[in-house]
Amino acid sequence: MDVNQVYETYLKDLIDKGAHSRSVRIAMDRAIHSYRTLSANALRRFPKTIEKAKKVREIKEKSIANWEKLVEQARESFERNHAKTYFARTAKEANEIIGKIVGSGKTVVKGKSLTSEETHLRQYLQKLENEVYETDLGEFIIQLLDSRPMHLLAPAVNIPREQVAELLKKYIGEKVDPSNVSEEVAAVRRFLREKFTTADVGISGANVIAAETGTMVIIENEGNIRLATGLPDVHIALVGIEKVVETLEEAMMVAEVTWRYADYEMPGYVNLISGPSLTGDIEKVLTYGAHGPKELHVVFIDNGRSEMANDPSFRQALYCLRCGACLYECPVYAVTAGYYGHQYIGGIGTVWDAFTTAHDLAEVSPHAYTCVLCKRCKTRCPVDIDTADMMVALREKLVNQNLVPPTIQQFFEGMQEHEDE
C-alpha cells in the first residue's frame, strides 16, 4: 500500500468531513459537554469506582498474561453449559464460522459490537443473502448512512438530530420533528420491533467473560441486547480473547468500572448469559430451548491480539475496556470525531488497528502521526493506558519501515536542514 495515497485520502476526510464540518462540530460539542457532566456525576455518586479501576488494571494484566489458559477454561465452561464454542485465528475465519451457523436467507438482528465491525461481519452476512439489522440506535443510524462508528460507545456521536430526522424519512419513511429526539427514538423502535420478533439469529459481542463459570456480561441501556439475544432461536456471540477474566466476581468489577467511565451511574441493563435457555419444569427433565434461544454459539477471536499480548510495547492496549472516556478528552477527536481513526477510533484505536484491521502498517501511518502526544487520554483512562507511549513505539516501527507520511517527513527534513545551518 502506498503511504502517500493513504495520507492524502485520510487528510482530506479528516479536514473536509471532520474539522470543517459544521454538523460534526455541533454534535461533538453537545456530546462532550454531556459526557463530562454525566461522568462527573457518576464518579461523585460512586467514588469507590476509582479504587476499583486500579484493581481492574491488575485483573487485566493478570488475564492477558494468561489468556490462552483462560480462553480454554472459558470454552470448557460454556460447553458444560450446553453452548458451542469456536476459536478463530483471523477475521476471515470468524466470519466463516458465523456464516456457516447463520446460513443464508435469514433475518439477523445485531447488538453493537466493535469486534464485528473489525471483521465486517454485517457486510459478510449480507453477501450470504441474509437481512441484517443493527439494533443499537447509533449503529442503526450508521447502517442507514453506510458509514462506520465514530466512537467506541456512541457510534453516531457525530450525527446531530436534524440529520437523523432526514435519514429516518429517507430510509424508513418516518417523518419526525427534527428537534424532537424522543420522536426519532420512537420511530426506530417501531421499525425494529418487528425485526426482533421475526429474526432467526441474534448476534452480540460481550464486555467481559468469566472463564470459571462460562458467563458473558453485556452492558446496555436500550434493551436491544435483551431482545436480540433473547428472542431469536439462535444467539451467536463474537468475543475477543482479551475479554476473558477468571472469575465472575472479577468480570462484574470490570463491567462496573466500564459503565462508570462510560458515564453511567448504572446502566439500564446488565445481561449475564451462560448458555441456551432451558427448563426442568416437567418432571425435572432438563430440556434446552425454552423461551429464549435454543442454541448459544460463542466465537473467540484472536486476529492479532496474541501478537499484541506478546509485544511489551503494545500489550497494555489489550487492557482497554472500550469505555470511550479517552476520546472525549482528546483534543484532536473533539474537532474531527471518528475521522481520526482507520477502523477503530482515536489514539487507542490506532494501536488496535495496527494489529487487527490494517493489512499493512502504511494504513495506520497518518493516524499515528495525528496524535499530539498530550497524554490527556491517560489522565482519563480507568486502567491508566499510556496511548502516547504506544504511539511513539508505533512511529518507531513506521520510521524503520520507511512509512512516515510525506508531509511529516518533509517537516523533519526541513528542521534538520535548519539545525545544520
- Which residues here bind ligand SF4, judged by CB under 6 A? 152, 261, 320-326, 348, 380-383, 385
Least separation in angstroms between residue 396's CB and ligand SF4 is 20
Tell me how far apart the terminal alpha carbons of the chain are, to the nearest angstrom: 36
Grid cell 447488538 — which residue? 111
Q: Cβ closer to ligand SF4: 382 or 405? A: 382
The residue (of 251 and 348) whose beta carbon lies closer to ligand SF4 is 348
CB of 57 to ligand SF4, least distance (A): 10
Q: Write down the least CB distance from residue 349 to ligand SF4, Å.
A: 9
What is the closest distance, in whole angstroms, from the C-beta atom of residue 246 to ligand SF4 in the complex? 19
User: Measured from the CB of residue 342, what is the shortest distance to ligand SF4 in angstroms?
Assistant: 16
Asked if 325 and 365 count as a contact pair (C-beta separation under 8 A), the reply is no
* Cα distance between residue 245 and residue 64, in whole Å: 8
**What is the bridge-based pairing of β-strands 244-245 and 201-204?**
unpaired
Shortest Cβ 136–ligand SF4 spacing (Å): 17
CB nearer ligand SF4, residue 141 or residue 152: 152
Q: Which is nearer to ligand SF4, 98 or 348 (CB)?
A: 348
- CA dist., res. 408 & res. 166, Å (int): 40
Angle at 344 between CA 383 and CA 147, to 5 degrees: 140
Phi-psi region of 378 (alpha: psi -120 to 50; beta: other; left: phi over 0): alpha
- What DSSP state is assigned to residue 10? H
- Residue placing its CB nearer to ligand SF4 in the complex, 261 or 340: 261
User: H/E element holding 184?
Assistant: helix 181-198
> Least distance to ligand SF4 from the beta carbon of 153, Å?
8
Element (H, E) at 236: strand 234-240
| Number of other residues whose CB lies within 10 A of the CB of residue 400 | 9
Which is nearest to 299 in space by CA: 93, 1, 67? 93
Of residues 97 and 321, the one with the C-beta less far from ligand SF4? 321
CB of 273 to ligand SF4, least distance (A): 23
Which residue's CB is nearer to ligand SF4, number 300 or number 333?
333
Q: Which is nearer to ligand SF4, 275 or 382 (CB)?
A: 382
